[in-house]
Chains A and B, each alone.
Chain A
Amino acid sequence: MDSDPTVHIDPAARPRPLSPNIQIYRPQLTSVLSIANRITGVILSLGAVGLVIWLGAASAGPRAFGAVRGIVGSWGGQIVLAGCTFAYFLHLCGGLRHLAWDTVHGFELRTIYISGWAVVAASIGLTLAAWLASLFVAG
Chain B
Amino acid sequence: MIVESSDQVARFTLLKRFPVPRNFKVTPQSRIEKGRTWPAPVGASRVQAFEVYRYDPESHRNPRIDIFEVDLDDCGPMVLDALFWIKNKVDSTLAFRRSCREGVCGSCAMNLDGTNWLACTRFISDMSKPASIYPLANLPILKDLVPDTTHLFAQYEMIEPWLHAKTPTPEKERLQSPEERSQIDGYYECILCFCCTSGCPSHWWNGERFLGPAALLQAWRWLADSRDEAKEERLNALEDPFRLYRCHTILNCTRTCPKGLNPGRAIAEIKKMVIERGG
Contacts and interface: CB of A to CB of B under 8 A. Distances in A.
A63 interface: no
Interface stretch (B38-46, B84-92, B98-106, B244-252): B244-252
Nearest to A2: B150
Q: Range of interface residues on chain A?
A: 35 or more
A110 B53 contact: no
Nearest to B256: A28
Contacts of B265: 104, 107
Contact of A113 (B2, B15, B62): B2
A40 to B, nearest CB: 14
B17 A25 contact: yes
B32 to A, nearest CB: 7
B122 interface: no
A101 B24 contact: no
Contacts of A113: 1-3
A17 interface: yes
A74 interface: no
Contacts of A2: 150
Nearest to B114: A26
A17 to B, nearest CB: 4
A117 interface: yes
> For A7, A14, A25, A112, which residue has the most chain B Cβ atoms within 10 angstroms?
A25
A30 B55 contact: no
B60 interface: yes
Interface in A90-125: 98, 101-104, 107-110, 112-114, 117
B137 A20 contact: yes
Nearest to A103: B272
Contacts of B255: 28, 30, 109, 112
Contacts of A34: 201, 248-251
A22 to B, nearest CB: 5
Chain A contact residues: helix, strand, loop or mixed: loop
A2 to B, nearest CB: 7
A27 B4 CA distance: 17
B193 to A, nearest CB: 15
A25 B225 CA distance: 34
Interface residues of B, number: 64
A12 interface: no
A22 B5 contact: no
A22 B20 contact: yes
Contacts of B153: 1
A21 interface: yes
A17 B262 contact: no
A20 B55 CA distance: 13
Interface string B198-227: 010100100000000000000000000000
B17 A109 contact: no
A16 B142 contact: yes
B249 A98 contact: yes
A19 interface: yes
A137 interface: no
Interface in A15-67: 15-32, 34-35, 38
5 contacts: A21-B204, A25-B252, A27-B15, A28-B115, A102-B271
Which A-B residue pairs are the 3 nearest by beta carbons? A26-B114, A107-B265, A21-B138
Interface of B: 1-6, 10, 13-18, 20, 22-24, 26-27, 29-30, 32, 53, 55, 57, 60, 62-63, 111, 113-115, 132, 134-142, 147-150, 153, 199, 201, 204, 248-252, 254-255, 262, 264-265, 268-269, 271-272
Interface of A: 1-2, 7, 14-32, 34-35, 38, 98, 101-104, 107-110, 112-114, 117
